[in-house]
Amino acid sequence: MTKSPLKLRPGIAEAPIYVPGAHGDKNAAIPPAVLSANENPLGPSPKAIAAYNDANHLHRYPDGGATELRQAIADHFGLNMERIVCGAGSDELITLLIRCYVGPGDEVLQTQHGFLMYGITAKTVGATPVLAPETPDLHADIDSLLAHVTDKTRICFVANPNNPTGTYIPGSELRRLREGLRDDILLVIDAAYSEYVDAPDYADGSDLVDDSENVVMLRTFSKLFGLAALRLGWCYAPEAVVDALNRVRSPFNVNAAAQAAGIAALGDQAHIKKSLTENAEQMKRLCGALSQLGLGFAPSVCNFVLIRFKDANTAKRALAHLADQGVIIRSVAGYGLANSLRATVGTATENDRLIAGLTDFMTKA
Ligand SMILES: *Cc1c(COP(=O)(O)O)cnc(C)c1O
């Protein structure tokens, strides 16, 4: 930390800075295949781009309550709009929830290889992240989470499905977790990839929100909807949590272009369907190629796959080898998975390059 006469709040100096997935050199002769941040390789709906371009009353403040957007989300997903709060990405909502319910000395519980932002944000308010080991096949382990609850636990975060593992647990397991937690512990179910999941026993967690006073579901427009640049997320929450979030958020936290593009994206069923179909096809193809190469991977229900190498050094060399060929995937050493790399499922052409790069690496390795 840089020296300063100012008194920083507890925890901030110790909080690591989040390192986003690399995006390579955009100006390279052959543009890189960017498979590092789980973005929709098809981009957003053309309707969302048009709505973004039309959002040009730049001197006017946006609707601070994001009323039309919340109504569109409620209609699309069959939810009550009064229980929806929008944010500048779901990352902002993670921060706001922690600000509402967590302070110095408190604990924030999550799974061992869960999304990094929960722990980083917990640290910024002087709280301690607690990691509950997962099952050997990288699934959230409810008994392990419950065993790590203490008097100081305030929030339990579960990404379902999880990033970077890509695995999910059934809705019944989430319900068992809620039943095992004290009432004064908030359960946050981060369903950033839920649109991709078609497993019959999966639940996004909205049913649990409806049935209790201490569950929040987080969602995002950054993944399937392809709007990562605009920063748009939302949560579905009990009345008291909605009230608290509306007090702490800044009054115009979601910009006008994001609101307009979000509404249009929800309205483009054809683009949603195409994105899901191509992802499913390409995921199948990619996993087939990984198996042929003798590479292990975690069973993914998302738009990315966690690839396992022999050891950490091999993973590191594979990452560099791919980068040399303009294929950018993600190191997950920061998640305690140094022997693995996470690759977003790209377009057919991008996946050709990924498979070619991996094949080349495995033949030489
Ligand atoms: C990408 C991601 C998010 C962040 O979404 P934003 O809305 O872009 O802030 C949240 N949670 C998980 C698990 C993610 O993978």
Same domain for 146 and 64, yes or no, is yes
Residue 25 has pLDDT above 70, yes or no: yes
| Ligand 1 mutation target, pool 38, 110, 220, 224, most atoms within 8 A of CB | 220
Q: How far is CA 293 from CA 69, 118, 167, 286, 340, in A?
A: 45, 35, 22, 11, 15
Q: Average pLDDT in the 85-102 region?
A: 98
Same domain for 248 and 277, yes or no, is no
Res. 180 pLDDT band, cuts 50 70 90: very high
Same domain for 231 and 101, yes or no, is yes
Q: How far is CA 57 from CA 50, 60, 255, in A?
A: 14, 6, 11
Residue 160 belongs to some domain of the structure: yes
Same domain for 237 and 285, yes or no, is no
For residue 321, the enclosing domain spans 33-43+270-364
The CATH number for 325's domain is 3.90.1150.10
Residue of the CA atom closest to atom 2 of ligand 1: 192
Total domain count for the chain?
2
H or E element, residue 131? strand 128-132
Distance of CA 339 to the CA centre of its chain: 21
Percent of the chain exceeding pLDDT 70 equals 99
pLDDT tens digits along 264-277: 999 999 999 999 99
* Amino acid code (one letter) for 225: F
| 15 C-beta closer than 6 A to ligand 1 | no
Which pLDDT belongs to residue 365?
Answer: 67
Same domain for 67 and 210, yes or no, is yes
| 91 C-beta closer than 6 A to ligand 1 | yes
Residue 18 belongs to some domain of the structure: no
Same domain for 130 and 187, yes or no, is yes
Cα 342 to middle of ligand 1, angstroms? 15
Same domain for 180 and 129, yes or no, is yes
3-state SS of the chain: helix, strand, coil percent to 5?
40, 15, 45
Q: Which of 267, 283, 313 is the last residue of a domain?
A: 267
The CATH number for 260's domain is 3.40.640.10
| 312 C-beta closer than 6 A to ligand 1 | no
pLDDT tens digits along 276-335: 999 999 999 999 999 999 999 999 999 999 999 999 999 999 999 999 999 999 999 999
| 204 C-beta closer than 6 A to ligand 1 | no
d(CA 70, CA 254) in angstroms, rounded, equals 12
| Helices and strands: H and E segment counts in the chain | 12, 13
pLDDT tens digits along 46-61: 999 999 999 989 999 9
| 241 C-beta closer than 6 A to ligand 1 | no
d(CA 74, CA 236) in angstroms, rounded, equals 10
Same domain for 81 and 158, yes or no, is yes
Residue 7 belongs to some domain of the structure: no
Residue 177 belongs to some domain of the structure: yes
Residue of the CA atom closest to atom 11 of ligand 1: 192
pLDDT tens digits along 114-173: 999 999 999 999 999 999 999 999 999 999 999 999 999 999 999 999 999 999 999 999
d(CA 201, CA 191) in angstroms, rounded, equals 15
Task: Mention every residue, 6+ apart, whose C-beta is less than 8 A from residue 239.
Answer: 82, 83
Q: HSE on the CB side for 147, CA within 13 Å?
A: 10
CB 218 within 8 A of CB 94: yes
The full DSSP string for 155-170 is EEEEESS-TTT-----
Task: Mention every residue, 6+ apart, whose C-beta is less than 8 A from residue 151.
Answer: none
Q: Which of 241, 267, 293 is the last residue of a domain?
A: 267
Cα 182 to middle of ligand 1, angstroms? 26
Residue 194 belongs to some domain of the structure: yes
Exposure string over 28-50, b if 16+ CB within 10 A, otherwise e? eeeebbbbbbbbbbeebbebbbe
Cα 95 to middle of ligand 1, angstroms? 12
d(CA 182, CA 165) in angstroms, rounded, equals 27
H or E element, residue 233? strand 233-236
Cα 191 to middle of ligand 1, angstroms? 9
Report the mean per-residue pLDDT for the chain.
Answer: 97
Residue 231 belongs to some domain of the structure: yes
Cα 1 to middle of ligand 1, angstroms? 27
Which pLDDT belongs to residue 24?
Answer: 83
Which pLDDT belongs to residue 204?
Answer: 98
Q: Which of 244, 267, 290 is the last residue of a domain?
A: 267
Residue of the CA atom closest to atom 6 of ligand 1: 89
d(CA 148, CA 131) in angstroms, rounded, equals 8
Residue 21 has pLDDT above 90, yes or no: no
| 222 C-beta closer than 6 A to ligand 1 | yes
Residue 178 belongs to some domain of the structure: yes
Same domain for 253 and 341, yes or no, is no
Cα 192 to middle of ligand 1, angstroms? 6
Same domain for 134 and 194, yes or no, is yes
Cα 220 to middle of ligand 1, angstroms? 6
Cα 263 to middle of ligand 1, angstroms? 19
Residue of the CA atom closest to atom 14 of ligand 1: 192
Nearest ligand 1 atom to alpha carbon 92: 9
Residue 353 belongs to some domain of the structure: yes
Cα 221 to middle of ligand 1, angstroms? 9
The full DSSP string for 249-305 is S-TT-S-HHHHHHHHHHHT-HHHHHHHHHHHHHHHHHHHHHHHHTT-EE---SSSEE
Same domain for 157 and 219, yes or no, is yes
Q: How far is CA 165 from CA 27, 130, 198, 255, 309, in A?
A: 31, 18, 17, 32, 14
Q: Average pLDDT in the 181-193 region?
A: 98
Same domain for 124 and 135, yes or no, is yes
| 32 C-beta closer than 6 A to ligand 1 | no
